Amino acid sequence: MTQFGYRTLGFGSGVAPPATYDIDFLVIAGGGGGAGRYYAAGGGAGGYRASFNSETSGGGGSSESALTLVASTVYTITIGAAGAAGAGGARGTNGTASSITGSDITAITTVGGGNSGHDPGPHDAVGANGGSGGGSGFTAAASFAGGLGTNNQGYDGGAGGIGAGDTGKTGGGGGAGAVGQAVATVSAGNGGNGGAGVASTITGSSVTRAGGGGGSSYSGTEGNGGTGGGGNGGENDTTTAAGAGTVNTGSGGGGGSHTAAPTGGAGGSGVVILRMADAKYSGTTSGSPTVATDVGGSGQTVLTFNASGSYTA
């Protein structure tokens, strides 16, 4: 029915629906930690989802649709914690999820990066599944595939391999943009490189994030962290320590070296970035995001959340 010339559309007679507008996003989970034992592989990057400028999501996934927000509605931003580094013979932990949630949207959630495997034993050698999978370590008994990445968020970790003594070699952690290096392509005693991250221009310039961690080496060369912030693997002969994933990139940590008390590299914490028209930005946030307006003369505002908070549309 109509009243006073307005059609009733579920909001009461003559009441207009609430204002809405679209925003683009980049959401990256925390990266996985590297194991703290000899022959430790690299941790996997956190899951990576993107909507801006037709840029791909992780794992070769397509760019997603922008989010439609409703004015005056509060949207919660959660930043995934980094996976802890393993120490004294222990595995690290997976990273945790980053997300955008609200009462009127389907949540944008990412999966934390998988932690890495090491030697010895089949259970400890296998990289964990995650946004991107953790690499698998060296073992004298069997060869194991790397941990699995999540569809449209990240790639698998590199496979581990069979060997003996200082010929052991380790897989690299999976990155958002590429699989971690498998030991089949690594020389004896070396560590595999972490998978590459993915570049985004959502902040106005191209930045690569979510690289996998490098695998450790026993007698050769440690694996490099994947582009985008992956930590390098440790190296035994020079007692080079494993590197951590770069903070707020969701990158994986490097595998620990073979020392008296080996320690892996922690993953990098996650990040959430929102982009919208300057005219639509409400100016109401919590959690102290970095705010940049008219980015590159585009007439658009970019919010970068390095810690959890909220945005009120």
Q: Which pLDDT score, from 0 to 100, does residue 53 have? A: 97
Are residues 148 and 162 in contact, defined by beta-carbon separation less than 8 angstroms? no
Q: Give me the residue spans of the domains in the chain.
A: 26-74+81-270
Determine contact, residues 257/242, Cβ cutoff 8 Å.
Answer: yes
| Residue 7 pLDDT | 36
| The token pair that represents 32 in the structure block | 């996985």
Residues 230, 56 contacting (CB under 8 angstroms): no
Q: Is the pTM of this model over 0.75?
A: yes
CA distance 275 to 253: 29
Quote the CA–CA distance of 36 and 216 in Å, as a whole number: 10
| Sequential DSSP letters for 185-244 | GS-TT-BPPPPP-EEE-TTSS-EEE-PPPPPPBSSS-PPPPPTTTPPPPPBTTTTBPPPP
What pLDDT, on a 0 to 100 scale, did the predictor assign at position 206? 98
Is 54 strand, coil or helix? helix
Q: Would you give the DSSP letter of residue 170?
A: B
Residue 134: the pLDDT is 98
Secondary structure letter of residue 125 according to DSSP: H
pLDDT tens, the chain, 313 aa long: 333 333 334 445 566 778 999 999 999 999 999 999 888 999 999 999 999 999 999 999 999 999 999 999 999 999 999 999 999 888 999 999 999 999 999 999 999 999 999 887 666 889 999 999 999 988 766 778 999 999 999 999 999 877 666 677 889 999 999 999 998 888 877 899 999 999 999 999 999 999 999 999 887 889 999 999 999 999 877 778 899 999 999 999 999 987 756 899 999 999 999 999 999 999 999 999 999 999 999 999 999 999 999 999 9
Closest CA to 170 of 193, 143, 137, 147: 137
**Is the four-CA dihedral 24, 30, 34, 35 of positive or negative sign?**
negative
* CB 126, CB 274: distance < 8 Å: no
Q: In 10 A of CB 287, how many CB atoms?
A: 17
In the 8-state DSSP scheme, what is residue 287?
S
Residue 190 to residues 172, 201, 263: CA-CA distances in angstroms? 11, 34, 18
